[in-house]
Amino acid sequence: SQTIHQWPATLVQPVGSPLSLECTVEGTSNPNLYWYRQAAGRGLQLLFYSVGIGQISSEVPQNLSASRPQDRQFILSSKKLLLSDSGFYLCAWSGGLGGYTFGSGTRLTVV
Amino acid sequence: DQQVKQNSPSLSVQEGRISILNCDYTNSMFDYFLWYKKYPAEGPTFLISISSIKDKNEDGRFTVFLNKSAKHLSLHIVPSQPGDSAVYFCAARSYSGANNLFFGTGTRLTVIP
């Protein structure tokens, strides 16, 4: 069966520090992968999606970047975090009964 | 432009009563609609869906209604239970493209014991 893993679960980082969040999918090949952010009191904002290795589409210009070095690996990065980068980050893949299947999320607090 | 809208950010309901969560959309080409449930510090999980060719889908205590002419769908939870307290996201799927699932802003449901 397909599973999606996302880590870390929580992260506290100082302003100006780098960021790397990782997401991996098991049990499927060539999935469409997505990074979302849920800011406090707000809905799900699509940040990036990828249809294949090295193929990244950005939905919102920002301080973040994404990479897909392997078929089932999706990484969200930043060179220098801002306070406004705080939020709950979710990885998802396009599959399963529910359209998208989400990871368990990463709570990022930039201090 | 927000293609899927949930105009009620929050809803409180007594345990045992009906919860009705609403969702409106603008794109008539959406062919599939879904509801997700999200607890704090967790990812959203799929709850129930409906195809655009139907007007109702029921799964236990959960029923989704679709009114295509009004571009409106609703989720009914009967009877509501305290464990149903969560944020509910409505989503609509377009028929093509990789970026094909559009989410509403969510409604926080609180079921009061």
Query: Which residues in A lie closer than 8 A to residue B101 (C-beta atoms)?
Result: 94, 99-100
Quote the CA–CA distance of B7 and A16 in Å, as a whole number. Answer: 36
Residue A70 has pLDDT above 90, yes or no: yes
Query: Does the distance separating the beta carbons of A107 and B41 come in below 8 Å?
Result: yes
Q: Please list the helix, strand and coil fractions of chain B in percent, rounded to the nearest 5, in that order.
A: 5, 55, 45
Query: Which residues in B lie closer than 8 A to residue A98 (C-beta atoms)?
Result: 34, 36, 45-47, 49
A26 touches chain B (CB under 8 A): no
First to last CA, chain B: 38
CA B65 vs CA A25, A91, B7, B74: distances in Å: 33, 29, 17, 5
Reported as a single tens digit per residue, the pLDDT across A22-34 is 999 998 888 999 9
Q: Are B87 and B108 in contact (CB under 8 A)?
A: yes
Query: Does the distance separating the beta carbons of B103 and A44 come in below 8 Å?
Result: yes
The string of DSSP codes covering A42-64 is --EEEEEEEEETTEEEESS-SS-
Reported as a single tens digit per residue, the pLDDT across B80-103 is 999 999 999 999 998 777 777 889
CA Rg, chain A, in Å? Answer: 13
For residue B105, the chain A residue with the least C-alpha distance is A43
pLDDT recorded at residue A97: 63
A90 touches chain B (CB under 8 A): yes
Reported as a single tens digit per residue, the pLDDT across B65-78 is 999 999 999 999 99
